[in-house]
A and B are shown apart, each in its own frame.
Chain A
Amino acid sequence: MAELNKKSAKILVFSTEKISDPAIDMAGLLKLHYPPTVYTISIPCSSGIKPSWILYAYEKGFDGVFIAADGSDCVFGESCTEKTGHLVGKTHNLMKENGIEPARLRMAAICSVCSESFVKQMRTFNEYLLKTLHA
């Protein structure tokens, strides 16, 4: 039981309906486990995330925010990668201004079958957050 009750970090994931959601669903199907305090909010495209949402999540108590980006698979076009990168950069700056450690926001491209990579990301992010925030 000790193992099960081990504290895990609260992570908010922004996932995308067509690309990263299927991968996250498949992680469940394959019973690839990750901390249950990882929550996803699904949106059409990762380039539509407002920095204000991310800041709001920290304000409300999330330890980390992860953007499961469409990457080059985005169904809305090539510019997605660049735009998502841009908004992450902008958010990092805002985080610094507000005294939030920028490393608490991560992003990686998660393709529609990247279940394992998603789970790996969640595990390492969780470990990182536990070490830096809850040590």
Chain B
Amino acid sequence: MKKKKIGVYICHCGGNISDYVDVEKVRQSVEGEDIVFIAKTTMFACSDTNQRDMVDDIKANNLDGVIVASCSPKLHQLTFRNVSIRADLNKYTYVHANIREQASWAHSDNKMGATEKAIHLVKAAIAKARYADALETNKIKAKKAVAVIGAGVAGMKAAISLAEKNTEVILIEKEPFVGGRVAQWDSLSTTTETGKNMVKRLYSELTKHDNITILTNSEVIENKGSVGNISLKVKRTPRFIKASACHPDDLKRAIEVCPVEVPDEFNFRLSNRKAIYKNYPSEYPQIPVIDVKNCTRCGECEKVCKAVDFTEKEEILDVEVGSVLMATGFDSYTPEYGEFGYATSDNVITLPQFKRMIDTQFDKLTYNGKQIKNIAYIYCVGSRQTDGENTYCSRNCCTSTIHAAVTAKQKFADINNYHFNRGLRTYGKQEILYADSLRSGDIYLQSYEDGLPTVITEGKKTIVKINDILTNGREIEVEADLVVLVTGMVPRADNTIGSLFKIPKGRDKFYNEVHMKLRPVETVIDGITIAGACQGPKNIAESVNSALSAATKSYSILSKGELETDPLVATIDPEKCTWCGACEAACPFDAILKVEKDGKTIAEINNTVCKGCGMCAPVCDPDAVNLIACSSKEIMSMIDALV
């Protein structure tokens, strides 16, 4: 084989690298390697100018490969593969060395060590480049359909947007009704439209598109395949009610006669509901449901309502899609027992409960039969914790609380609002709401970071105490008829779906995006996007923006109907293979076939199914299996270069 000629480009990264790594020394240490034809340093390897230089160098010198030593390949592998393509060089002959995250930054305390390491890393990349072959990408057909999981505002909006782009959508909602949290809110901040109306509007748009299938009461239970061709199994629990035969009066009676009462989660357990139920009159779809978990099959409802049908069966549906858009939303934080008097004091409730209270009561605001006048709001409960895990701010609760407080004051007589906050975060235009509330006479008290307010119960009285920053640390007490704990947003407690799709979580345990600044809706798993509050706390507009962004990304993956996949798959050496079947057993994707070749039984890799995990490689006793680009000869020569 003719000796390779490669180019090595070592980036200063405008000082991010060169402040700690002596890039010139790195260049000198590698320029003498046999296959290195060009070794250069550059201020910004990713800049247009340098990219142009690389293309010129490759073409002018007929290089067979290039190495860029710069930041993490997560950021720029694509950039430089594209440079190769523009220079008519196979993109798989390009090798990356990460000398920023793994050298200059990680060892900014030790310049000599960082430089030494960078030299080794570049040498290892050269070792790898020696074996890097030109490869052809695999082309696979992609299914132009997207499964949207969760029908909150984010999921509904994403579904509509995809359908408008002539893409088939399967919208899967685990509850019997669509709308998510927003269906639970009546009045919303920054608009006169109610949450329920917004849900209604989105639902009617959904039903206009015949390429959307809405599956309520449904959950994904199996996930197979990968981007372009994902096969899901969806379990649909029946409603036990025939839509066509449903008569409103009969139904009302059926609900009346049902003997089972369970806490109503829709109302945040403020009240109870029956086992046959609807949450609110205009709910979508407009068919009530029997909650199988609690139904005792006593048959009372069946007697009064013809629509009840206990013969309906659970169904398992097969869904084939090219991409999955996750929009499973959030839970509200549940305070610990006794946290600010929660569950130990009669007059302490959470913000979502308070929202439901003010939405469902008229004229007078009462709780436990008592009229409410003084309301104390304690902010950041379950957020910004200094001793708990939720160190983050929930972003939306300051605004929602002030809005709820202002709404309560407008709707009910004699309300006094006391806001026990930790510094208000009504960012952006929401500031206006804060200003309005101040003008209406709401009182704001701010605690010191190390002295949160306390809730004390004295007989029937509930007192909130604070050392208030805004009045120079004075101890202030408010006797409150109602204490509202401003509970933040937390990830859904049930993460079965996240585990099923292997979606990584961030430090805050919400789903994590690939790149916090520039790629907020994509995940490390190709073809899976995340939208709405499952990625982190968001208000409605922010959830919708992210839903539309995720829809665009999912669409742009599938719009061509064809996908390119990396050819970095496993290979079998037919000489060495003795067909013991170990690799077949190890492969999680059934990509290994038993074939007869030249009179010998051997294993063969199905390239379009193999995902290149390499699980088959270590189990092969005769060492017949290798992964392209991570073969033993590559790894071992890298080890040689690193010691």
Establish whether A and B are touching in the complex (CB under 8 Å). yes
A128 within 8 A of B: no
Docked complex: A44-69 residues within 8 A CB-CB of B:
44-45, 47-53, 56-57, 60-62
A76-106: contact bitstring with B at CB < 8 Å (1 yes, 0 no)? 1101100100010010000000000000000
Query: With A29-B105, A111-B504 given, is the CB distance from A56 to B112 under 8 Å?
Result: no
Q: Verify B502–A62 contact, CB threshold 8 A.
A: no
Which one, B74, B106, B116, B643, contacts A22 given CB within 8 A? B74
How distant is the Cα of A47 from the Cα of B643 in the complex, in angstroms? 23
**Closest beta carbon of chain A to B623's beta carbon, Å:** 7
Q: Verify A87–B74 contact, CB threshold 8 A.
A: no
Q: Verify A52–B524 contact, CB threshold 8 A.
A: no
**Closest beta carbon of chain B to A35's beta carbon, Å:** 8
B488 within 8 A of A: no
Which one, B113, B507, B613, contacts A47 given CB within 8 A? B613
Docked complex: B559-589 residues within 8 A CB-CB of A:
568, 586, 588
**Closest beta carbon of chain B to A53's beta carbon, Å:** 5
A24 within 8 A of B: yes
Q: Verify A4–B112 contact, CB threshold 8 A.
A: yes
B246 within 8 A of A: no
Question: For residue A24, which residue of chain B has the nearest CB?
Answer: B102
Question: For residue A59, which residue of chain B has the nearest CB?
Answer: B639
Which one, A33, A34, A53, A75, contacts B632 given CB within 8 A? A53
Q: Verify A44–B617 contact, CB threshold 8 A.
A: no
How distant is the Cα of A54 from the Cα of B614 in the complex, in angstroms? 16
Across-interface contacts of B504 in A (CB, < 8 A): 18-19, 73, 111-113
How distant is the Cα of A118 from the Cα of B617 in the complex, in angstroms? 26
B225 within 8 A of A: no
Q: Verify B618–A48 contact, CB threshold 8 A.
A: yes
A129 within 8 A of B: no
- Stretch in contact with the other chain, from B117-125, B138-146, B462-470: B117-125
Query: With A28-B101, A50-B632, A61-B643 given, is the CB distance from A36 to B107 under 8 Å?
Result: yes
B612 within 8 A of A: yes
Number of A interface residues in the complex (CB < 8 A): 54
Q: Name the residue among A18, A27, A50, A79 with the largest chain B CB count within 10 angstroms.
A: A50
B432 within 8 A of A: no
A115-131: contact bitstring with B at CB < 8 Å (1 yes, 0 no)? 00000000000000000
Across-interface contacts of B636 in A (CB, < 8 A): 53, 56
Across-interface contacts of B614 in A (CB, < 8 A): 43-45, 47-49
| Interchain Cβ contacts under 8 Å between A and B, 26 examples | A4-B110, A4-B112, A22-B74, A25-B98, A25-B101, A27-B106, A28-B104, A29-B105, A33-B108, A43-B630, A45-B614, A47-B614, A47-B618, A48-B615, A50-B617, A52-B623, A52-B632, A53-B636, A60-B643, A61-B643, A62-B643, A72-B499, A76-B588, A76-B611, A83-B615, A113-B512
Residues of B within 8 A of A (CB): 72, 74, 98, 100-110, 112-114, 116-117, 120-121, 124, 499, 502, 504-507, 512, 524-525, 568, 586, 588, 611-619, 623, 627, 630, 632, 635-636, 638-640, 642-643
Residues of A within 8 A of B (CB): 4-5, 8, 10, 12, 18-19, 21-22, 24-29, 31-37, 39-41, 43-45, 47-53, 56-57, 60-62, 72-77, 79-80, 83, 87, 90, 111-113
Nearest first, the 5 A-B pairs at minimum CB distance are: A48-B614, A36-B113, A28-B101, A28-B105, A76-B613
